[in-house]
Every structure is written in C-alpha cells, then in structure tokens.
Amino acid sequence: MPSLVRYPDRGDPILPEFVPNGDRTIDRNQISEMIIAKLSRRNSLDAEDHLAIRGLSMDFRHHFASSYLVREGQPPSRCAFLVEGYAYRQKLTIDGHRTICSLEVPGDFVDLQNIYLRESDHDVLALTDVISVDIPVAEMRVLAETAPAVGRAMWVDGLIEGAIFREWLLNIGRRNARSRVAHILCEFSTRLQAAGLAPELTADLPMTQEQLGDALGLTSVHVNRILRTMEAEGLVTRGKRQITITDWQGIRRVATFNPRYLHLHQEQPGKVVKNR
C-alpha cells in the first residue's frame, strides 16, 4: 500500500498517482477515460475535448466510510470525481435531523455545481470507502468556458441531477412506503448498469436501514418491515449492509419505476426511453 499524505486541515489522505487495487492499478489515464465516458453520456465530445480533459490536474484521495468529501458552508476549491465506492448528499436541520438527498456512484462528480457557487449548501459523505480525484475548480471553470461541448455536458449533468431531485421529492411526498423502498433500489440498479458497473439489473445497495430511512422519510423499523416482506416475496435478499435485487421485474412493478428522469440517452437526440 502506498504511503498516504494528509491535508493539514483535514483527516482525508491523498493517494499518489498510481493506486493499487487488488490485482490492478488505477492510474491517471484510466481516470481521464472515466471522466470522458461520463461527460460523453451527457453530450457528444470530439478529440480536442478529450485532450482538454486529459490535461486536467488530478489529486487522488481516499475517504473512509462516513467521512466528508464536501462540507456545507465550505468555499469550493476543488471538484471531486468518484472513482470507486459510493457517496451521498445530506442536509441537516438545526437540531441535527438528517435527510439523505441523493446517492452518488462511481463516475459521478459529487460537487460539479460548486465550480460556480461561492460555498457548498449541503454535505457529501462517503457511504463506503471511496477513492476520488480532486480537480481544481479554476481548471474546471476554464474547461467549461473554453471547450463548449464539455461545458454543455457539465450543464446537462446538473440538469439531470435536478431531475433526480424532483423524482426523490415525488418519491417521499406521494409514493407509499413500499413503493419508496422499491424505487430507490430500481434507481440505484439502473444507474449502475448505465455506468457499466452492473452487468444485470440486479445490484447491491450498501446502505443501512437507518440510512435508507433517512433517504425515504421512514423509520428504520418501517424499512426493516418492508425489506423483510420483500425478501419473503423473493424480490430482494439482504445482508448486514447489503440489499440485492433478485427479481427486477417484480421490484419495478412495486416501484412503478420509469427511468425517463435519468435521461440515460441524452447524448442521442430524439431517443425515447420507455418504461421497461
């Protein structure tokens, strides 16, 4: 394992440019290709756009589960891109009650909106151990302003985040508890498959019942009751911190899931996403 360098004002370690991971090594070129793939799903990019992305400065960083990637009120100086692991956005009330606002998967920028905002208005925390790369905000601004196709891709990415937030608001506000749980499972699975991280429409969701409750406006007791019923019906299987979909069509029916709001084919104008 490489030695870790720590920021003087934080506990999160920075990893060197090459990060061992089991039998393989993650390097800077791989990350550049991940970023190109992500933004290419938002807008068509050409060779010059690819070259501009490959020229970005990158610092690898490791975050342990439950550590902060972004803190509310923090002036942004960097933009984090998830390489491995999962993260979530949260908002806290003044008395400490939490709402989880969204989930972030490998290949997501967790704070792209902050390249033009003066401070962050929410927290981003590691759901699992995370490897990310930090890109200076100043470079991201220059990239967006000098490479219009890349800037459009970033803009579209922000619009899709807004669409996801609207769906989460509907989920909490109008769906029943059983449909809420099913819907977040369907979304997570679909996003992983779209990012090439899950070969089938089944995926492990590494959340505790308390975290699921905070994302769905439910108590952990209620979440446990719903998951226990779904498991008995053969829709999911459960581990200590894992929920695995075992019947995609069944869970989709419970959720009344339509992936239109994810805009999975944004780079292909005119393509319509139908309910699967």
Dist CA 189 CA 252 (whole Å): 11
The CATH number of residue 243's host domain is: 1.10.10.10
In a domain, 275, yes or no: no
Question: Are 135 and 180 in the same domain?
Answer: no
Residue-level pLDDT at 243: 86
Question: Are 35 and 116 in the same domain?
Answer: yes
In a domain, 203, yes or no: yes
Question: Are 13 and 84 in the same domain?
Answer: yes
145 is in which domain, residue-wise?
5-149
Pick from 56, 64, 62, 78: nearest CA to 2: 62
Number of domains present in the structure of the chain: 2
The CATH number of residue 140's host domain is: 2.60.120.10
Residue-level pLDDT at 268: 55
Q: Structure tokens of 275? A: 């309910």
Question: Are 145 and 181 in the same domain?
Answer: no
Helix or strand run (H / E) with residue 164: helix 148-174
Q: Structure tokens of 220? A: 């952990």
In a domain, 250, yes or no: yes
**pTM score of the predicted model:** 0.86
Residue-level pLDDT at 205: 84
pLDDT in tens, 184-230: 999 999 999 888 887 666 667 889 999 999 999 999 999 999 999 99
Residue-level pLDDT at 67: 95
Residue-level pLDDT at 15: 54
In a domain, 159, yes or no: no
Q: Structure tokens of 257? A: 């899931």
Question: Are 15 and 121 in the same domain?
Answer: yes
Strand ranges, E, within the chain: 5-6, 13-15, 19-21, 24-26, 59-63, 68-70, 78-84, 87-92, 98-104, 123-126, 130-136, 204-205, 236-238, 243-245
Question: Are 202 and 108 in the same domain?
Answer: no
In a domain, 168, yes or no: no
Q: Which residue numbers in the chain have pLDDT < 70?
A: 1-26, 199-203, 267-276
Residue-level pLDDT at 27: 82
Q: Is 65 helix (H, G, I), strand (E, B) or coil?
A: coil
Question: Are 125 and 182 in the same domain?
Answer: no
In a domain, 84, yes or no: yes
* Spatial contact of 75 and 119, defined as CB atoms under 8 Å apart: yes
Question: Are 99 and 133 in the same domain?
Answer: yes
Of the residues 149, 165, 197, the one at which a domain ends: 149
In a domain, 130, yes or no: yes
Question: Are 35 and 121 in the same domain?
Answer: yes
Residue-level pLDDT at 5: 35
Question: Are 109 and 215 in the same domain?
Answer: no
